[in-house]
Amino acid sequence: MNRFRLVRERGLFAPFDIVVYLLLAALIAALFFVFVVADTFGADDAEGVRVQVGGETVYTYTFGEGGERAQSWEERITERTEEGVLYVRIRADAGWNELAIDDAQKTVVMHDADCSLRKDCTQMRAIGQGGSVITCIPHALKVVPLEGEDYSTPSVG
Amino acid sequence: MRGRGAALAAAACLAALCACAPGATLRAKQEFARFGTEVRWVYAEERTPDADAVWAQLTARSDAIEADISTERAQSSVSRFNAAAAGERVSIGADAYKMLTVAQAVYAETAGAYNPATGLLVDLWGFSPRHRADGYAPAADYDRADYTKELPDARYLAAFFDRRLLDFGAVELGKDEDGYYAVKPEDAFVEVENAQGEAVTYTMQLNLSGIGKGYCADEGGAILRAAGVEYGYYNLGASSMLLLADPSSKDGVWKVGISSPREFSSRADYASLRARDTVLSTSGDYEQYYELHGVRYCHIIDPSTGYPVGASPEEGGAHIVCVTVAGGGAAEGDARATAISCMGRKEALAYCRAHSGTFRAVFVWYDGAGKYTVYSNLEEWTLNERSLRVEEIA
């Protein structure tokens, strides 16, 4: 009975309690969003891409800012723009690859290469449209998101 | 109430924070063009003090395995077997012997759906290592100038589909005081008249690309366990993956994405599964292929038709477009995934059901008319692509 009197006198919730409960609800909602919603719907937006040949970064492109060639690769990488798409051709010792970068859509795809008749690298999904890496094995060339590959989320297939 | 409320809230916050296990720094070492793909070892930096030494062991072992089975190396066991005449006995290395032994077991288990004796058909359709390289030029009598724009000569298709060339079970394997050996069956040859009217003899050709990466994953696993490595994964071309434990999750379980075989949506993975300390093997028609007249010709040759899966005129395009196998050995898993890719839907369901105590699987079936269905008996998995219908392998 004393406790009931106490609650009646002091009220069910003190102001500080309400603040704490609201903070707790916000924390739970944030955790739910990060670990459930964002994961479910996927966040495939890349900030840009990095092109590596034999493990060496030769070119980087940041959406909204443009591309940058590594110093020793300046003469081996050319750029041209057609209908709003930037085509970047990289000539490695083993051959050449050409990327198509759509800054407006924030996507990067392997447009062409002389690696083989099949050009398997041109069949890979665009980074920014579900793809996470584009690889040209014969040329040891790899295109990865600018922020790097996420090793914590392995993928098969 | 105020004191209890604050204490309750603090406890809940603490519990929520505890749910996020402390992160570990993951590093990767990788090499290109091993088995025609990228091989990567991901490890927890803080818990792998001798990473360089372990990586040196992994690369040395994978190099030795590739040297024994690669058809790009003239002195490999497989190359020498392929060059041998019908009836000839060929000495082979230990790795080739072990792989061929596993291959024969899976060949029998799958009633020939996995068949590494399709080497000539693989070459005919343009999926040998020499076709991957820049500077490909026709060399064999059956080569086309551009194999992505013209179908193979029907005479060679019929000849290389001859049962004598595909009877992998008839290959004799053994070991004696001289070492391991393989004997090419005496009748494993055909003759085809070339454009010049000359009779050319072709014998059974083996291709272990459907099991090699898996075998390498098994061997890599032995090295990692011997080195006391408990965390990370060893990934061979994303088609064979040895999973250890995830250092960043409380239960060590990884969440692994399974790549979408088609662009159903913008999602990269059509499904995810949770696993640790196991092997995953994936086979699919979307990594190496070309399209001609609206038909996809991929690198997986169906030994029951002689065509790439789904491409034979009788199939109407219906086929399994991708499969992931979890559990069992990696070499077996690699071969099983290849086998399931070559099966019809009913056959695949029966096979997965019959062996659910050994491995679990998820595969995507395409009916040839625009509809895809996912079949699974994986234990912990999630379908990410909500537009796909799911049925249980039960």
H, E, C per residue of chain B: CHHHHHHHHHHHHHHHHHCCCCCCCEEEEEEEEECCEEEEEEEEHHHCCCHHHHHHHHHHHHHHHHHHHCCCCCCCHHHHHHHCCCCCEEEECHHHHHHHHHHHHHHHHCCCCCCCCCHHHHHHHCCCHHHHCCCCCCCCCCCCCCCCCCCCCHHHHHHHCCHHHHCHHHCEEEEECCEEEEECCCCCEEEEECCCCCEEEEECCCCCCCCHHHHHHHHHHHHHHHCCCCECEEEECCCEEEECECCCCCCCCEEEEEECCCCCCCCCEEEEEEECCEEEEEEECCCCEEEECCEEEECCECCCCCCECCCCCCCCCCEEEEEEEECCCHHHHHHHHHHHHHCCHHHHHHHHHHCCCCCEEEEEEECCCCCEEEEECCCCEEECCCCCEEEECC
Model confidence over B371-381: pLDDT tens digits? 999 999 999 99
State ipTM: 0.85
What would the mean pLDDT of A11-40 be, rounded to a whole number? Answer: 72
The distance of A64 to chain B (nearest Cα, Å) reads 21
- Give B257's contacts in chain A (Cβ within 8 Å): 153-156
More confident residue, B239 or B3: B239
Model confidence over A86-145: pLDDT tens digits? 999 999 999 999 999 999 999 999 999 999 999 999 999 999 887 889 999 999 999 999
Q: Identify the band that residue A64 occupies on the pLDDT scale cut at 50, 70 and 90.
A: very high
C-beta atoms of B259 and A12 within 8 A = no
The pLDDT score that the predictor gives to residue B13 is 56
- Give A22's contacts in chain B (Cβ within 8 Å): none
Supply the pTM of this predicted model: 0.88
- Give B30's contacts in chain A (Cβ within 8 Å): 55
**Chain B residue closest in CA terms to A4:** B1
- The mean pLDDT of chain B is 94
Q: Which of B42, B126, B241 sits opposite A156 (nearest CB)?
A: B241
